[in-house]
Amino acid sequence: MNARYLWRTFQQWMLCCCLLGFCISASATGENCPPERKSLSAELFAASQAQARDRGFLWRVTKDGHSSYLYGTLHVGRETWLAAGPAMAAALQDATTLALELNPLDADNVRRMGAALAQAPVRPLAPGQRQRLERQLQAQCLPIQAVGLSPAELLLSGVALALARRDGLDAQFGSETFLALFAQQRGMPVVSLETVELQLQALLSPDAAEARQMLEDGLRELEAGTARQSLLELVSMWEHGDQQRLDTYEQWCECLVTPSEKLQMQRLLDQRNPAMAHQIDALHRSGQRVFAAVGSLHMSGDRGLPAVLGRMGYRVQRLP
C-alpha cells in the first residue's frame, strides 16, 4: 500500500475516530479479529512516561523576536507513545497556543463533521468491488452492512486501520489525541488550521470515477498482502525522525505513478500547505508562540511547511 494512500487513510480515519467516535465498529470478536480497542486512561498515560522519548519531526521557527514550533505528526500510534520526549516537552511548555489541522475535542467540529459525512455521496461501485470490499471488512470483523451506506473510501480506511491495530497501532493513540488532551489539561488554547469542510474536500474523492479508482487501488494492495509492511515502514520513518527519508518520500512511496495519483497528492498536500502556513504566520505575528502539529508529509521537501515558512522570512531550525 503506497504512502499516499496510507497517509490519506490515517487522516480520514483520524477524523472519524476523533470527531465521531468511530465510523464503523467491530461486529465480532475472536481470535481471528483485531485486538479489542483499549480505552484511554490515566494508567496508560502514566505507564507511557517510563518510555517517553522524542519521536516524529520537530522544528523551531523564529521571526520578529520570538519562536513558534512545527511538529510532524503520525495519525496513529502505540499506547506507549502517550508522552512527550524532552525536546517536544520543552517546546510545548514554551508554546502558548496549540494549532492542529482540526481540533478533535471541539464540539462544533464534531457537529459539522457529522453533518458533512451524513451528506457525503455514497457512489456506486464498479462490478465486483462490493464483494471484494465485503470480504475485506469481514476479515477484520467489521460489518458488511455498512457497504452502500457509507462512502467506500471510509470503509476501506476502516479496514486499513483495523489491520494497523493488529500491530498495536491505533488512531486514538495518535499524535493529535495526545496533543489535544495535553492542551486541554494545561488550559492551552487549541485552534484549527482548517475547517471540516476543507478537510473533507481534500480527503474524499471529488467524483465517482476517482472514488472507484481509489477503492480499486486499496483493494488490490490489501489483497496482495503488501499493506502491513508499507505501514510499518512509514511508522518507522516517523518514530525515528528520519528526515532524509521524509524529504525523499516521492522516490520510494510509489504514490506518484499515475496522473490521478499526482492530482490526489497535490490536493492532499501541496494545495493545503500555503493556507496552513499563512494561518500559522498570522497566529505568530499576533504574538502567540504556536505549536503547530500537522501530518508529517506536510513537512516534506521544498513544498513542506518548514520550507514555506522559511521563504516567508522565518529562521527554521530542526530539533532536537
- The 10s digit of each residue's pLDDT in 205-246 is 788 888 888 888 888 888 887 777 777 888 999 999 999 988
Q: Which three cell numbers stand for residue 281?
A: 504566520
Residue 172 has pLDDT above 90, yes or no: no
Angstrom distance (rounded) from CA 122 to CA 5: 19
- The 10s digit of each residue's pLDDT in 256-294 is 556 656 666 666 677 889 999 999 999 999 999 999 999
Among candidate residues 191, 163, 185, the one with its CA nearest the CA of residue 82: 185
Q: Phi/psi at 99 (nearest 5 deg)?
A: -120, 120
Residue 192 has pLDDT above 80, yes or no: yes
pTM here is: 0.86
Hey, which of 6-10, 11-15, 58-62 has the most confident mean pLDDT? 58-62
Which residue reads 494545495 in cell numbers?
271
Strand order, beta sheet including 315-319: 190-192, 97-100, 290-295, 66-73, 57-63, 315-319
Which residue reads 464534531 in cell numbers?
110
